[in-house]
Amino acid sequence: MGSGGGGARGVQALQALKPALVHGMVCAVLGQGDAVLFGTTREGGAIMLQLFSGEESDKLYASSLEELEELVKGVEAVAVDS
């Protein structure tokens, strides 16, 4: 577990995110046979999404609610279009 000593902007953004957005994105990613992992940066200033597809993985970061909403919607759109 993390030390919890840093800022919490990323965690606050995740807490403020509408659950339906996360649910839709997770379902779209899993529906493609891919996976998504949620985490935070060490200092807690950003949320990290790591997407796994076959042998590849990408890490994406967001530090505000607006960035996180855009990121989640973008990931869902790409997964649905695949």
Is residue 3 situated within a structural domain? no
Find all residues with CB under 8 Å of 49, minimum gap 6, and list them. 36, 37, 38, 59, 60, 61, 62, 71, 72, 75
What CATH number does residue 13 fall under?
3.30.720
User: Is the pLDDT reported for residue 28 higher than 70?
Assistant: yes
pLDDT of residue 1: 46
User: Is the pLDDT reported for residue 33 higher than 70?
Assistant: yes
Q: Where residue 7 falls among pLDDT bands split at 50, 70, 90? A: low
**Count of structural domains, the chain:** 1
Is residue 19 situated within a structural domain? yes
Is residue 16 situated within a structural domain? yes
Is residue 2 situated within a structural domain? no
Q: Which of 31, 67, 29 is nearest to 48 (CA)?
A: 67
Mean pLDDT of 25-47: 94
Domain ranges, residue 30: 9-81
pTM given for the model: 0.81
